[in-house]
Chains A and B, each alone.
Chain A
């Protein structure tokens, strides 16, 4: 495979979280930017060493919750005060205190929906196929192994040099990740290394 063509990137496998943290830090320090790490549980600090910024998701959730709050209150105000006012026991139409429980529930509901759908959408899910799944051993990224991937899109990417660099990080192994989907039967070749 020529440099960068039909290659998604290079992937190094590690056995322990501290190794992938250190490897991530050194890869970022070496100037690579199109990088990602995959782990079977959240490894704290991994996003920082790879140079990822703090997500804006909380702000989005706040907006969702506020929309739920104002929307929920207005829904009740519109129905019971503007559109169809009913006199119940001489109480004022705008008895806003009685509208608070539903306003609260709507705040939580829309806030919670924004949480979940915001996370899914910003993470680009659902995405059943991704080039990293071509590597058979990547199935352990959801079990007990840690992976660091440098993408071919990175301006500094050079198949030979980057591979040598990743090998210098003491990984368990390094694999070339092809871009297109590789049939299952041929996947074993990708992780074999004729010595």
Chain B
């Protein structure tokens, strides 16, 4: 029987989201060969080792923190929330783009999400891991972190459920759990593909166990599709709720610059903004390193740039309203805080934030910038920096300059603050390196489904193959 030739029965015509002539077989090969066939190159090993070294910096910084306590950080009265909270908000915000891509764009039937959802979800999980470390470290006694959870205890006390900080515990842990499950469910059919393509006994056993013995039966797929949609429906309000709850940590307090009702929407928009920037920061090198240009096209990058531009404008609106309300509201503490941001000791940080988050991204209106890979990569780094600075401005300027001049004070991060932050960046990249090597980084079954739809659309009635294959 003419077997292998039959896989070229029908190929897709090139389209902006799927370049080249693709079949079920070509997309499957392309995605799974990265895990199974491709040699681990020197670039991967070098990058992996560098990241591993930075993970060790994290280990040392955390070990010393446990030994000495949070006093090694720059936090003090009045600025008791320093890098730990800045980094927490920044990392959790980055995670939001992954859920947006996998859940909201799925419900909106945006076809272009298919190539990017897998590693965006992975990014979410690793970002939430980094985020989760910070509140625990910031408690000072992380071995008592379980006190945050409601459990019957001999002290007879419970968490104070009226506090946004406790809401945060529930929001973030729910988010971490569901992101992980959503990602894993998406992986099951692709892990089965890896199991079936592998020639190595150990790989077959490991991937066979991980895919739970998936075999793609009709009823299995039916249930699978049902839960994909329902999970997306559950994750959509969840992702909005998470950063809303994070913003309440600030907005419920009476600190000037925090106590404002615009925080929830503008935190959520900012989260998506920084998240898409991080997806671009990861997608562009992965695309180049693994030659994914046919599956991850310039159109995908451009769409992400457009979302960045849109959410960036919402963030700009948030800043503008904050300033407007400070003056229009006539509260002297609010006004004084805004003037302090503009002209006070942290003015450099503030104006850098405005440059990175508002001014420079306006270049994205230009299509030439949106379709230039190098420019987009730089832009994504700029926005990531800008969003980190935004959290710095929110956390620090509010606290350092509140109601009484006798309470004014400065915040100076120490080397240990930087070490922990750098360490989580290393940990995040370290996990991404492992992910790219051992897990199919593009959703194979969804790509095959897309090939199928494209074949149907271009008039090859989905798979109306000639009556007898051997005739070809």
A-B contact pairs, 17 of them (CB 8 A): A15-B6, A16-B462, A18-B461, A40-B445, A41-B24, A42-B445, A42-B449, A47-B222, A52-B219, A52-B222, A57-B227, A98-B162, A101-B167, A104-B241, A115-B234, A142-B189, A142-B215
Q: Which of A57, A106, A127 contacts B170 (CB 8 A)?
A: A106
Residue count of chain B within 8 Å CB distance of chain A: 75
Nearest-CB distance from A1 to chain B (Å)?
22
A105 touches B170 (CB 8 A): yes
What 1/0 mask marks residues of chain B from 383 to 404 whose CB sits below 8 Å from any chain A CB? Answer: 0000000000000000000000
Q: Chain A interface (Cβ within 8 Å of chain B)? A: 15-19, 24, 36-43, 46-47, 50, 52, 54-55, 57-58, 61, 65, 75-76, 79-80, 83-84, 86, 88, 91, 95, 98-99, 101-102, 104-106, 108-109, 111-113, 115-116, 118-120, 122-123, 125-130, 132-133, 138-144, 170, 172-173
Interface string of B283-303 (1 = CB under 8 A from A): 000000000000000000000
Q: How far is the CA of A172 from the CA of B219 in the complex (A)?
A: 23
CB-defined contacts of A76 to chain B, threshold 8 Å: 161
Tell me if B465 and A108 are in contact (CB < 8 A). no
In this complex, what residue of A is CB-closest to B3?
A172
Q: A102-B161, A140-B196, A143-B197 are in contact. Are A57 and B216 (CB under 8 A)?
A: no
| B interface, over-half SS | helix
Contact residues, B449-464 vs A (CB, 8 A)? 449, 452, 461-464
Residue of B nearest to A75 (CB): B150
Whether A129 contacts B213 by the Cβ 8 Å rule is yes
Q: Is B213 in contact with A130, judged by CB distance below 8 angstroms?
A: yes
**A133–B25 CA distance with the chains assembled, in angstroms:** 20
The winner among B10, B24, B25, B193 for most chain A CB atoms within 10 A is B24
CA distance A28 to B47 in the complex (A): 55
| CB contacts between A and B, total, < 8 Å | 225
> Considering the chains assembled together, what is the distance between the CA atoms of A142 and B193 in angstroms?
5
Which residues of B in the span 424-463 have a Cβ within 8 Å of any Cβ on A? 445-446, 448-449, 452, 461-463
Please determine whether A112 and B446 come into contact, CB atoms closer than 8 angstroms: no
Asked whether A58 lies within 8 Å of B230 as measured between CB atoms, the reply is: yes
- Comparing B66-74, B152-160, B273-281, B360-368, the segment that makes contact with chain A is B152-160
Which residues in B have their C-beta under 8 angstroms from that of A125?
212-214, 220
A127 to B, closest residue via Cβ? B213
Cβ-closest 4 pairs across A and B: A16-B463, A79-B158, A139-B196, A144-B24
Question: Does the CB pair B245–A101 fall under 8 Å?
Answer: yes
